[in-house]
């Protein structure tokens, strides 16, 4: 079971509210789609500059595996406060710990309403359906 302290998107991003800030990341399912178990297959991750304003659903970055580039989309809107620089040097973090050390972006949200996003249970059901 994936962490139930956050919400998820059908594009396999997660968002975790923590007081006045929110963290974004991607799920283990997203990483697995790109790498198929080969954590060395992730080669590059481009994250936004601090201060950038993101709209919900807007592309905030891109990630490249050996054979594909995929967009990263903001689950909610807000202003970028910080990005996880450790990822750019150690992409394997996304494979080993996508829900904690693998956070990508910290934002000041302009809206803390996560009602339109998936709960952990709903996301589990969604990816289970995709796997068939």
List residues binding another protein (CB under 8 A). 10-11, 32-36, 43-44, 46, 59, 62, 64-71, 73, 130-131
Quote the least distance from Cβ 88 to another protein, whole Å: 12
1 touches 27 (CB < 8 A)? no
Query: Quick one: 81 or 126, whose CB is closer to another protein?
Result: 126
Quote the least distance from Cβ 80 to another protein, whole Å: 19
Query: Quick one: 66 or 125, whose CB is closer to another protein?
Result: 66
Length of the chain measured in residues: 132
Q: How far is CA 48 from CA 9, 14, 24, 72, 114, in A?
A: 19, 17, 12, 10, 22
Query: Quick one: 37 or 51, whose CB is closer to another protein?
Result: 37
- Virtual CA dihedral for 60, 122, 112, 71, nearest 10 degrees? 0
Query: Quick one: 44 or 100, whose CB is closer to another protein?
Result: 44
């Amino acid at each position: 079971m994936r962490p139930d302290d956050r919400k998820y998107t059908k594009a396999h991003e997660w968002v975790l509210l923590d007081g006045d800030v929110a963290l974004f990341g991607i799920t283990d399912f997203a990483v697995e789609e790109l790498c198929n178990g080969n954590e060395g297959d992730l080669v590059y991750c481009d994250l936004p500059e601090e201060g950038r304003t993101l709209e919900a659903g807007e592309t905030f970055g891109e990630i490249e595996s050996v054979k594909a580039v995929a967009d990263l989309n903001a689950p909610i809107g807000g202003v970028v406060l910080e990005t996880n620089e450790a990822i750019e040097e150690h992409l394997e973090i996304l494979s080993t710990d996508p829900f904690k050390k693998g956070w990508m972006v910290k934002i000041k949200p302009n809206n803390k309403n996560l009602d339109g996003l998936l709960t952990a249970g709903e996301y589990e059901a969604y990816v289970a359906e995709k796997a068939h």
